[in-house]
Amino acid sequence: FPEMLSNPRLIPVQGTLNVAMNQDVTLSCHSDSGSPPVRYTLFKHNQKVSTLNRPDLTPVLFNLTINSASDVGEYKCKAENNISSGGKYSNSLNFTLREPVSKPVLSSPTSQAKKGQNVTLSCLSENGSLPITYIFFKGKQTIPPSVKMQKREAAVIFLFLNSSSDFGTYKCKAENSFPNNTKYSNGFNFTVAEERHHYQPLIISLGLILLLFVIGFALAVQFFIIPSYKASE
């Protein structure tokens, strides 16, 4: 006797719904039971994409290419046979666009610091699929731990510049699930700020007093000593 189709199952052949731009993907759709032949129709956002026929209950394969952000979203499959009314729909699948990280920017509120000062470093990639993992370096030495960001926010580390070796070139790198696409930032350098000693204001004050004394002496010579000398001649 003719049998109504079961709800079809829609699955990605590649096993993942995380896709990259210009990637080819394949979706498999089939009903486990029901009377063939079967007509399968794939929908994207309720718009028909493709229709394939099967003389039996073997799966159909829909081949797609992710060319733009509009190609990700909800996909469904409908199965129909000669006795089905309106067909049976599958589960929905949603692709997530996987984007490589962009070159991160390493920054700090200050580039000059004193020994014994606490400073911060921030690393941020403006583009790339989340989550993004950031790793900081001093020279070629890794600064643990790595920072995994689930939001589009900068990873921040706190540093204590205790000695001259703590000043120098820092870098960070960013990576996500996109394979073979680690990106490194430009180098960032902390320089030692000139320290003002407590006796500097005293030196400046003494210098001003000496300058005023010299100016006063010159005026006295011009207006008092020289005229007195000439009057006595």
Ordered by start, the domain boundaries in the chain are 9-97, 105-192
At residue 173, φ and ψ (nearest 5 deg) are -130, 155
Alpha helix locations (H) across the chain? 200-220, 226-232
The residue with greater pLDDT, 94 or 204, is 94
- This model's pTM is above 0.85: no
The residue with greater pLDDT, 141 or 217, is 141
Give the class (CATH, top level) of 9-97.
Answer: mainly beta
Residues 6+ apart with CB under 8 A from 175: 101, 132, 133, 135, 181, 182, 183
Which amino acid is residue 225, in one-letter code? I
* pLDDT tens, position by position, 125-160: 999 989 999 999 999 899 999 999 999 999 999 999
Which amino acid is residue 192, in one-letter code? V
Residues 6+ apart with CB under 8 A from 64: 24, 25, 26, 27, 49, 71
For the domain spanning 105-192, the CATH number is 2.60.40.10
CATH topology agreement for domains 9-97 and 105-192: yes
The answer on pLDDT for 199 being more than 60 is: no
